[in-house]
Amino acid sequence: MNDKSVRVVIGGRVQGVWYRGWALEQAQRLNLQGWVRNRRDGTVEALFSGAPETVDEMINACRKGPPMAKVTALGQHSAEPPEDKGFRALPTT
């Protein structure tokens, strides 16, 4: 089965509530490839790549996020898989 790659942008109260660290831990636990970063506009952006059902599980988890987060929007778009292996946090853009 082919891997699925999706870029998501999560809005709401998602910065300053450990969302990026939570997403990093969840994605690594699920053995996904990709990255997560804060954006200057207050959103969090991520690229998830892996088995389709695992990517879908991660996206569903992102709709809730960590306990202090309040997700009000989640946009997703098909994406190219990441060039680097593993899952990591990137600097804010």
CATH of the domain at 36: 3.30.70.100
Q: Is residue 70 part of a domain?
A: yes
pLDDT tops 90 at residue 2: no
Stretch 70-82: mean pLDDT, rounded?
A: 97
| Number of domains comprising the chain | 1
Q: Is residue 91 part of a domain?
A: no
Closest CA to 50 of 22, 23, 27: 27
Q: Is residue 76 part of a domain?
A: yes
Q: Is residue 87 part of a domain?
A: no
pLDDT of residue 10: 98
Range of 24's domain? 4-82
Q: Is residue 93 part of a domain?
A: no
Q: Is residue 92 part of a domain?
A: no
Instruction: Identify whether the C-beta of residue 31 lies closer than 8 Å to the C-beta of residue 50.
Output: yes
Q: How many residues does the chain have?
A: 93
Report the run of H or E that residue 57 belongs to, with start and end. helix 52-62
The pTM is what? 0.96
Catalytic residue ranges = 20, 38
Residues 6+ apart with CB under 8 A from 89: 20, 21, 24, 35, 36, 37
Instruction: Identify whether the C-beta of residue 76 lies closer than 8 Å to the C-beta of residue 8.
Output: yes
The residue with greater pLDDT, 84 or 7, is 7
Residues 6+ apart with CB under 8 A from 9: 39, 43, 44, 45, 73, 74, 75, 76
Stretch 53-76: mean pLDDT, rounded?
A: 98
